[in-house]
Amino acid sequence: MTMRPWGALVLLLAAGALTSCAGSPEFLDNGAVQVAVYPAPQGILAIAQPADVIDLGDGCVGVELPGYDESPMILAVPLGSTLDADGNISVVTPDILELDEPTFAVGDQIHMQAAHIYRKGEHVPDDVLIPDACPSVGVWLMLPYSTDLGG
C-alpha cells in the first residue's frame, strides 16, 4: 500500500488491522473498507459537529457534516484504532480517561470534535496516513474522546 500527501480536508477513520511497511504504520484496511489514521491528537478545536459516516467511494470512509461548506471529508481516527471484518470502527481513547472505545460504521451518525482540520489544498503532514483510494477532499482528525453515537 502506498500513501500520498493530501491537500484536502480529510476525516480520518481507523479501519482494519494496522499493517506495516518497513516498520512504518499505515492506514487501516479490512479488504473492503479503508480508514486514514494519525499518530495522536494535535490540539483541540472547539468544533463539535454531528456527522453522517459515509463511503466516499472505493471503500474510503468519510463524513458528511450538515451545514459545513467543506463537506464531505475524509475521516481520520487516532493510530491504534481498529476496523473489524464487518466494517465497525473502534476509536482508541486515552487510558487516563477510562472511557469505552466509541464504535461506529458507515451509515451511522456520530457527534465529534476535531483535533485538526486540513482544508482542500492545504499540506497534510506525512504522519497523517491516507489510503490512496480516498478522493482529494479535506481531512478531519477526529478527537477520540469527543465522539458520541446517536443524534
* pLDDT one-digit tens code per residue, 67-79: 878 889 999 998 8
Task: Dig out the grid coordinates for 146 from the structure.
Answer: 469527543
Q: Does residue 121 lie in a domain region?
A: yes
Q: Does residue 3 lie in a domain region?
A: no
- Please give the backbone phi and psi of residue 95, each rounded to the nearest 5 degrees, phi first: -55, -35
Provide mean pLDDT across the span 114-127: 86
Poorest-pLDDT segment among 38-42, 58-62, 89-93: 38-42
d(CA 29, CA 34): 4
CA angle 47, 62, 85 (to 5 degrees): 125
Res 59: pLDDT: 93
Q: Does residue 41 lie in a domain region?
A: yes
Other beta carbons within 10 angstroms of residue 67's beta carbon come to: 7
Q: Does residue 127 lie in a domain region?
A: yes
Q: Does residue 2 lie in a domain region?
A: no
First-to-final CA distance of the chain: 35
- 39 in Cβ contact with 142 (< 8 Å): no
Task: Dig out the grid coordinates for 87 from the structure.
Answer: 466494517
Whether residue 60 is predicted with pLDDT greater than 90 in this model: the reply is: yes
Provide the domain limits for residue 32. 9-149
Q: Does residue 21 lie in a domain region?
A: yes
Contacts of 114 (CB under 8 A, 6+ apart): 45, 47, 49, 140, 141, 142, 143
Q: Does residue 59 lie in a domain region?
A: yes
Q: What percent of the chain has pLDDT over 90?
A: 34
Q: Does residue 113 lie in a domain region?
A: yes
Res 61: pLDDT: 96
The tally of domains found in the chain comes to: 1
Res 41: pLDDT: 55
